[in-house]
């Protein structure tokens, strides 16, 4: 399996090198061309599949945010796909930071079970550990910390209600 991991990492690194030779940074790829990057790996190599947040959601038939949610049945089959820092799927979705189906795409390797994007060529089992999502997790942690602090300080909670 170690050789398969090396092969996958080498293929992703080569794809990143192609994109960067065309003038894009890994950050720019992730923030505007992530789906094209993942699709390119998917089409070029059978080992990869292109996945995005939208592939993990249910659509209930109306065009408003409340009609989307994470498909927890589907996610239960992808054992490494989990929210970080003790958050639930519902908390993750309701935060507004992960609730749009087109938010990010990555390449999932069918052989190694690793997820890759342009800023994470080493791969990770859980796509929510991709560096692209780090600012969203920091925002969720800060919001949770602020909520806990406010709950411990009734004077702040009271002034916000006014």
Task: Fill in the DSSP letter of residue 129.
Answer: G
Query: How many domains does the chain divide into?
Result: 1
The residue segments making up the domain with residue 66 are 2-161
Residue 69 reports pLDDT greater than 80: no
107-140 pLDDT tens trace: 999 999 999 999 999 999 999 999 999 999 999 9
Residue 61 reports pLDDT greater than 60: no
pTM to 2 decimals? Answer: 0.83
Average pLDDT across the chain, whole number: 87
Most confident region among 56-60, 94-98, 118-122, 149-153 by mean pLDDT: 118-122
User: How many other C-beta atoms lie within 10 A of the C-beta of residue 128?
Assistant: 22
């Amino acid at each position: 399996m170690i050789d398969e991991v090396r092969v996958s990492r080498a293929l992703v690194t080569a794809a990143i090198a192609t994109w960067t030779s065309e003038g894009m940074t890994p950050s720019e790829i992730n923030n505007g061309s992530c789906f094209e990057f993942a699709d390119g790996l998917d089409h070029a190599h059978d080992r990869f599949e292109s996945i995005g947040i939208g592939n993990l959601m249910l659509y209930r038939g109306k065009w408003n945010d409340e009609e989307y949610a994470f498909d927890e049945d589907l996610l239960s089959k992808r054992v490494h796909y989990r929210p970080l820092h003790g958050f639930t799927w519902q908390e993750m979705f309701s935060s507004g930071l992960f609730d749009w189906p087109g938010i990010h795409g990555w390449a999932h390797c069918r052989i190694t079970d690793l997820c890759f994007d342009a800023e994470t060529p080493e791969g990770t089992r859980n796509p929510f550990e991709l560096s692209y999502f780090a600012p969203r997790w920091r925002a969720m942690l800060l919001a949770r910390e602020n909520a806990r602090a406010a709950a411990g300080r009734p004077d702040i909670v009271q002034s916000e209600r006014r």
